Every structure is written in structure tokens, then in C-alpha cells.
Amino acid sequence: MIDIKLIRENKDLVKENIKKKFQDEKLPLVDEVYDLDIKARELQTEGDNLKAEKNRLSKEIGILMKDGNTAGADEAKEKIAEMTNRINEIDNELPTIQEDIKVRMYKIPQIIDDTVPLGKDDSDNVEVERFGEPKVPNYEIPYHADIINNLNGLDKESAGRTSGEGFYFLLGDIARLHEAMIAYGRDYMIDKGFTYAIPPFMIRSDVVNGVMSFAEMEAMMYKIENEDLYLIGTSEHSMIGRFKGQMLKDTDLPVNLTGYSPCFRKEGGAHGLEERGLYRVHQFEKQEMIVICKPEEAMDWYNKMWKYTVEIFRNMDIPVRQLECCSGDLADLKVKSCDIEAWSPRQKIYFEIGSCSTLGDAQARRLGIRVKGEDGTYYPHTLNNTVVASPRGLIALIENNYNEDGSINIPKVLQPYMGGKEKIVPANK
């Protein structure tokens, strides 16, 4: 949510930002907010003036009565009655207008950073840098589900019986490798100075509305029936929500957390679910990182955070690239965002394994997170980034460490989490 002062003082800037995001249907919202804000402030001023005048007249009545001026006192009482009626009208009308403003403000996108490339959708995202040499071996790499099946590590058929499409059982060494990735990501972030957190896996609607747009919520989140609770799509939601309504101190910043959670997503829409594979599923596990910091430090943190993900995957012998998200691919709360994509030697393309975003003060404003500084209070900036998400990260690991005989090399950094095992070998080898 942007600062309403921007609309009061520079409507054209807000409208130009909407155009950059190719959301012209939202342009009328700016004028609507502008007009409603004027009306709200006028009502607020009128109400405050009436209350001050009512107080003055109330004191005057006592003086008039003392002086025996009953006619003057009665006249003052009539005025007070009229003022009271009008004050009640304003007190009823003003919250409705303020709510109308809030609903519209929630739909107006955050002002994007000047460095964000302009584009309509993810096809216009821009490759910035590659890390590691993308290689294709001189032997065929099977589909990841077939590789895992050959290692007795996947059972989607049984998951279909227990839970339906979009779920899976991971088994044996593959399940262990999956957890090794998450554990390695956790320990890597702890070594970087982040505090480890296991947050609630369900959050209330006011937290959901604070951390994401309504459109994102509808597309992603599962609601618990008859409860004001949603299953989280990432631990970022809980970790940022932890500070809802809090006044932090300058000395508390930055807040650095790395959180583990299962994640639940509808994965509806055009992409759909993977019938055989594990790329798009309803449930996965993730190690996430969030930072709450001073506004002037946000971009430095942004660049640190996505580089952490690059280093983690390079340490697992996986080539990756950074892809800058264009304006039309940014969610409404985001100021700037990039994807980290892993190389698929089977498909000979890169695919997304993580995303890093800085959201400015949007989440802080929505959630009422403020900081008390030397020069007064302010809204901090929030950032989030994927450390490791599996099974998507698991797919990248398997493909890039697959051997012709069907075995999987275990990267050195993961071997301590696998009991020292260096390779996963098919049972028949």
C-alpha cells in the first residue's frame, strides 16, 4: 500500500506507475481515492470544529444560567442539539468513506523501482547474470519422476488415494536428500547471522491482507472452513505477520529471520498441476528468509539475499542464473524482484527455484509495523527470498547430479546430512 500523500501531491506519478505495470483498468482508482480523501478530510475537519464549538457552548451555558439568561442558555442548548446530530452523522459517514479509501488503496500497486525493466508479463523478464557453466551430458537424462521412481523414492499413486492430485510420497534416500537440502539451507542462513524460526503454519485473514494482494490470496491460499485461518503459502507470511501492530526500535533493525515451513498452494490457473512430476504441486517444503530494515538499507539487503541463494545452489553443483522481473510480472506489493533459476540439462532450459523481492513499506503500512527513530516514527521496509524450496530444488539437484547408470551424486555440502553417503544408487545396481 502506497502512502496516500503520493495521491494527494502527485497523482500523475501514481498513474504512470500503474501504466508501467499494464494495469490501466486501475487508473480510475487514483481519482476515486483522491476525491474520497478530500471528502474524508473535510468531514474530519467539520467534525473536529463542531466538537470544539460544542464544548465551548457547553461551558457557556453554565455562565448564562448563572447570569439568569435562560433564553440564551436555551438557544445554546438548541445549537448543541443540532451540532450533536451533525457530529453523529459525520461519525457514521466518515468510517465508511475511510473504508472505501482503504479498499481502493489496497488495489493500487506499489511504486516500482526505477531499475525495473518494463514489460507486460514474465516473457519480458531479463536475464542479468549466469553462475556456473550449464552442461548437457552425452547421455540421456530421464524425466525427474522416472529417475526418482527408479530409486524407489516416489509414490504419487498412493498419494492420489490419500489426498488427490497434486500430492506425493517421497521415500527412502530421496526423502532424506530432500530434507538434507532444507537442513543445509537452514544452517547456511544461520551462519549468515539469521535467526532460525519455525512459525505458525496457519494465519488469520488480517495478516493475509497485510502481506499480499487479494488477487494473490485468491490464486494461492487454502482457507480453513468455518475458521478465520488460512494455510500459509510460505513462512514469509507468518514471519512478517509476527510484527503486526508493533512499534520497533531503531536498534532492533535489521530483523533477520530464516524460517522453515511446509507450504500449501492451490496452483490453479493456466499452469495447472503436474500429473506425473513434482514441479507444480499443492504441498512442498521451504526454507525462507525475511529482512525488516531501514528504508535506506533495503536495496543492499536485496542484493545480499538473492546472492545467498545463488551460493547455496552453486555449492550443490547446480548452475543458476538471475532473472530480473519486469514491471508487468511484479505482484502489486513489490518494488523490485528477481527469480533465481536452475539449469535443467534434460530440457536444456532454466527453471525457477526461488524468488527475491523488496516490498518497500507496503507490508509495514498494511500491518501497522512502525519503527521509533531519533527523528520520529517511520515504516520499515520488508524483503523476502527463497533459501531452498523442495521438491523444485530437488529436481534441479537430481538432474545436475545424475549419472548414466541411474545413480545420483550427493554434493559434498549435503553428505553430512546423509550420514556421509556420497551417492544414491538404484537397488538393482
Residues 6+ apart with CB under 8 A from 118: 20, 124, 326, 327, 328
Which pLDDT tens digit goes with each residue over 297-344? 999 999 999 999 999 999 999 999 999 999 999 999 999 999 999 999
Under 8 Å CB-to-CB from 65, ≥6 apart: which residues? 73
Per-residue confidence (pLDDT) for residue 274, from 0 to 100: 59
CA quadruple 300, 302, 305, 307: dihedral positive or negative?
A: negative
Q: What pLDDT is attached to residue 270?
A: 45
Output the domain CATH number for residue 90: 1.10.287.40
* Cα–Cα distance for residue pair 384/240, rounded to 1 Å: 9
Residue 112 lies in a domain: no
Percent of the chain surpassing pLDDT 90:
84
Q: How many other C-beta atoms lie within 10 A of the C-beta of residue 195?
A: 12
Same domain, 43 and 154: no
Same domain, 29 and 149: no
Does 282 map to a domain?
yes
Same domain, 149 and 25: no
State whether 256 and 331 are in the same domain.
yes
| 319 cis-preceded (ω within 30 degrees of 0) | no
If asked whether residues 245 and 149 sit together in one domain, one would say yes
| Residue 111 in domain | no
Last residue of a domain, one of 54, 75, 105: 105
Residue 332 inside a domain? The answer is yes
The verdict on 218 and 174 lying in the same domain is: yes
Instruction: Round to whole Å and give the CA distance between 283 and 5.
Output: 41
Q: Is residue 110 part of a domain?
A: no
Final residue of a structural domain among 105, 135, 159: 105
Give the CA angle between residues 28, 31, 36 to the nearest 5°. 120
CATH number at residue 277: 3.30.930.10
Q: Which secondary structure element, helix H or strand E, spans residue 257, and what is its range?
A: strand 255-264
Q: Count how many domains the chain has.
A: 2
384-409 per-position pLDDT tens digit:
999 999 999 999 999 999 999 999 99
Domain of 75, in residue numbers: 4-105
Query: What distance lies between CA 348 and its chain's CA centroid?
Result: 30
Roughly what angle, to the nearest 10 degrees, separates helices 27-66 and 70-105? Answer: 160
Separation CA 353–CA 391 (nearest Å):
9
> Do both 52 and 171 map to the same domain?
no
Mean pLDDT confidence for 275-300: 93
Whether residue 342 is contained in a domain is answered as yes
In this structure, the answer to whether residues 133 and 8 fall within a common structural domain is no
DSSP E strand stretches across 146-249: 154-155, 169-170, 195-197, 202-203, 222-223, 230-231, 247-249
**Does one domain contain both 60 and 199?**
no
Cell of 427: 537397488
pLDDT surpassing 80 at residue 273:
no
Who wins on pLDDT, 59 or 210?
A: 210
Mean pLDDT on 54-75: 83
Any idea which of 69-78, 229-238, 281-290 has the lowest mean pLDDT? 69-78
Q: Which of 126-135, 141-150, 272-281 has the lowest mean pLDDT?
A: 272-281
- Mark whether 81 and 208 lie in a shared domain: no
Tell me which of 61-70, 81-90, 365-374 is least confident.
Answer: 61-70
In a domain? residue 248? yes
* 310 and 175 housed in the same domain: yes
Q: For residue 327, which of 27, 16, 85, 49 has the smallest C-alpha distance? A: 16
pLDDT in tens, 340-384: 999 999 999 999 999 999 999 999 999 999 999 988 999 999 999
Work out the mean pLDDT of the chain and round it to a whole number.
Answer: 93
The answer, yes or no, to whether residue 269 has pLDDT greater than 70, is no
Q: What is 10-67 written as a DSSP string?
A: -HHHHHHHHHHTT-GGGHHHHHHHHHHHHHHHHHHHHHHHHHHHHHHHHHHHHHHHHT
Q: Are residues 135 and 242 in the same domain?
A: yes
